[in-house]
Structure 1
Amino acid sequence: MSFDLDTSDPYLAAAAVLRERFAVDAVARDKQGGRPAEQLELLRASGLLSLTIPTAYGGQGQPWSTAFRITREFAKVDGSFGHLFGYHFGSVHGAYLGGSPEQAADLYRRAAAGNWFWGNARNSFSRTLFGRRDGAHYVLDGYKPFTSGSHIADYLQISWLDPSGQEFTLAAIPTDRAGLTIHHDWDGIGQRQTGSGRVSFDGVRVHESEVLDGRRHAGRPFQSVGVLLQQSTLLNVFIGSAQGALIAARDYTREHSRPWIYSGVAKHTEDPWVKRTYDDLYIRTQAATLLADRALNALDQAWGRGFDLTESERGEAAIAVAAANALAGETALEVTSKIFEVMGARSATTSNGFDRFWRNVRIHALRNPAEYKIRNVGTWFLDGTYPEPGIFQ
């Protein structure tokens, strides 16, 4: 098994071309941070922004497995852009999961026609944005942190609390709305171009028609599938980062690494320790990839069921994603750290930029502790209890 894409699929072939373009300046952009503006325009030109929008509304109608395999491919060289690409689709489908069919159809059509890129300002942990009713509008004041993609988005999915702090409301609005300020203040050690900083709201008006009205499907298991999309973005960024780091390390080892003075070999690649280390990292990454593929299949099946999805079907998909997520994160952390041991001291320079793989994975994993995924899988294995749908499960 290799980590190459099946480029007989035209969408995956387009992604492979973009990956090579992103790789050219990935190290420099990681150091710079800010907005991946040129990369976004390349993505727009590729047509991939409407990849999962149904064909009836002007999209390509491709499955989630295709979108997340592309997420992996981008993350091989640029974890930030893989993150942005995956999260984009979660917001694209926000109205389908949390709104009315009419709202979903309208936003699908406009997003496909406008070639929109979506971000989000709906962090459910944050209790820092409040909205009050004012006639046919809501008026929003406060801010949201961790707003991935907001800095390059055309449209945002947002959420706020009512004045009592008891009820969340969801909506979709353009990023040029009066009173909306995107601060570009993300300063994490990794994922430096994700724009995961603050968005503030100063008297922002949201029309009631923009509020996502999901009462028709309230309580159905399918409405909670959105969290599995988020988790699938995370796990496929892990997979892509592990694969990309391992490929980059192998190439460096072949071309630049020198044997240790006590190794007794003429070439670094002939050292049994080096061979065994790469063997172990490859096997682990291969296993994590196969489990991630299984999760993609489960997600495609769950999504295909639509609002007929049952609790047990949703639970099976949640377990598949949780198991893959836990292994992917732990594998990516190990791979992106251990490659330095077999590349050698000269690899650990800022000009090489290999550290970006570890930094991206490290900060990404902090959003998504593996411990709680593992507990959910263990509980299900012991007594058959599926995870209760929630913010991260």
Structure 2
Amino acid sequence: MSIPLSNWTLETIHAALPAIEQELARTAAERDKAGGHAAEQKELLRQHGLLLLVVPKEYGGIGASWSETFAIVRRIARVDSAMAHLLAFQTLQLSGVISYGSDQQRTLYLGETVALNHWWGNSANPADPRLIATEQDGGLVLQGIKGFCSGTLGSHRLLTTAIHQPSGKLLIAVLPTAREGISIHDDWDPIGQRQTDSTSVSYEQVRLEWSEVLHRPDGVSTPFLTMRGVVAQLILVNLYLGMAEGAFEQARDYTLNQGRPWFASGVQRAADDPYVIHRYAEMHLKLRAARALTEEAGVEVDQAWRIGRDLSAEQRGRAALAVAEAKILSHRAALSVGEDVFDVCGARATKADLGLDRFWRNARTHTLHDPIDYKLRDVGRYALEHLLPEPTLYS
């Protein structure tokens, strides 16, 4: 049973998490095969207050830190990375309102989010410049399309970015998903992350008021305003690590309870096979290293976020560097562990009803979000010349 809205706290959410994880895990493999919109599972998260994790307490939210929030995201990613993805991207859209919004906009949009306890959709893909905002009749008109718009289906609000004409600069805005001229297309058919509703969204002469614009094309950027990109990368870090941890735990359970030793091993249990033990040691160390850097990166981002508008470029850069380091290791762990589990579990573990393949497929799909080579470039530049990452929408 869900808890009344006014009584949600971080403690009540943690108390409910085991049951939430169990319910998601019960159908995760089956839903992963089917794809489509997971309305029931999204409602489960909504009913337990998870949509309000990062909304500050002064607006009626939970007021969780990024470390606290993404620890929860990671737990959910172990059993259902698509639902973890949707929850994480909910927090990302709210971060845009918190960092870019005026006092009036924060009061309106965050207060409404708490009152309605609603989902946000992501239509802010910065790598997709096809959505154009043209000035008209004292406001703006949006025309074009955005791709990879996670969580748009079933959302109440959209955070979007568009190219302003004639300046050619980016603006960030909030719109109701149901506004006339907005169409969500059922065109998400990947090999993994099949229930993230990462569809395309088209805008056909959609009216946008200047009061709905969080960041104007003539707005001045600051180190703090560029932190949204760092938060987005920390989301990926925790999703990847959660996928790797989930794959490891499911393989471990299989090895201990269903695994068969190879005939030449001379042992009675798969868990006593020295080569299986060796593989688990390797996976364990990959996870340990990734987990340590992930937790360190969370602390850095929390500290930077608390500083707020007084954040310096160097402080911002150190947070971005910590996230880049963690992302490299979590990226590698998700792909490596997702593959290695089959070596320790054997041929019978490829049975479709087990769904072990979903961990690698989901990781492979999501780790293509942005090239890991550019994170290695940022880390390499720091290692060689102590140059901190330059702010971009992806670093």
Q: Which residue in the other structure is 1:38 paired with?
A: 40
Q: Which residue in the other structure is 2:341 paired with?
A: 339
Distance 1:387 1:155 in 2: 32
Question: In the alignment, is the contact (CA less than 8 A) between 1:277 and 1:342 conserved in 2?
Answer: yes
SS of residue matched to 1:89: helix
Question: In the alignment, is the contact (CA less than 8 A) between 1:100 and 1:216 conserved in 2?
Answer: no
Deviates more, 1:270-279 or 1:118-127: 118-127
Change (3 A) 1:254 1:363: same
Distance 1:238 1:117 in 2: 23
Deviation digits for residues 44-77 of structure 1, max 9, x if unmatched? 1101211111111110111111110111011101
Q: Which residue in the other structure is 1:280 paired with?
A: 282
2:304 pairs with one of 270, 291, 302: 302
Question: In the alignment, is the contact (CA less than 8 A) between 1:330 and 1:370 conserved in 2?
Answer: no
Question: In the alignment, is the contact (CA less than 8 A) between 1:161 and 1:168 conserved in 2?
Answer: yes
- Tell me by how many angstroms 1:257 deviates: 1.4
- Tell me by how many angstroms 1:356 deviates: 0.4
Q: Which residue in the other structure is 2:63 paired with?
A: 61
Aligned-residue CA RMSD in angstroms?
1.6
The share of aligned pairs that are identical, in percent, is 39
Q: Which residue in the other structure is 2:178 paired with?
A: 176
- Tell me by how many angstroms 1:369 deviates: 2.2
- Letter of the structure 1 residue corresponding to residue 393 of structure 2: I
2:221 pairs with one of 216, 219, 222: 219
1:368 aligns with 2:370: yes
- Letter of the structure 2 residue corresponding to residue 319 of structure 1: L
Deviates more, 1:114-123 or 1:321-330: 114-123
Distance 1:115 1:212 in 2: 21
Q: Which residue in the other structure is 1:191 paired with?
A: 193
Distance 1:62 1:215 in 2: 31
- Tell me by how many angstroms 1:99 deviates: 2.8
Q: Which residue in the other structure is 2:7 paired with?
A: none
Q: Which residue in the other structure is 1:16 paired with?
A: 18
- What are structure 2's unaligned runs of at least 5 residues? 1-9
Map 1:119-198 → 2, pairs under 5 A: 119-164=121-166, 166-198=168-200
Q: Normalising by structure 1, report the TM-score.
A: 0.95
- Tell me by how many angstroms 1:164 deviates: 4.5
Q: Which residue in the other structure is 1:356 paired with?
A: 358
Q: Which residue in the other structure is 1:3 paired with?
A: none
Deviation digits for residues 249-268 of structure 1, max 9, x if unmatched? 00011111111122211111
Distance 1:172 1:121 in 2: 10
Distance 2:84 2:101 in 1: 27
Question: In the alignment, is the contact (CA less than 8 A) between 2:13 and 2:49 conserved in 1?
Answer: no
Distance 1:267 1:169 in 2: 60
Map 1:181-330 → 2, pairs under 5 A: 181-213=183-215, 218-330=220-332
Q: Which residue in the other structure is 2:3 paired with?
A: none
Map 1:49-88 → 2, pairs under 5 A: 49-88=51-90
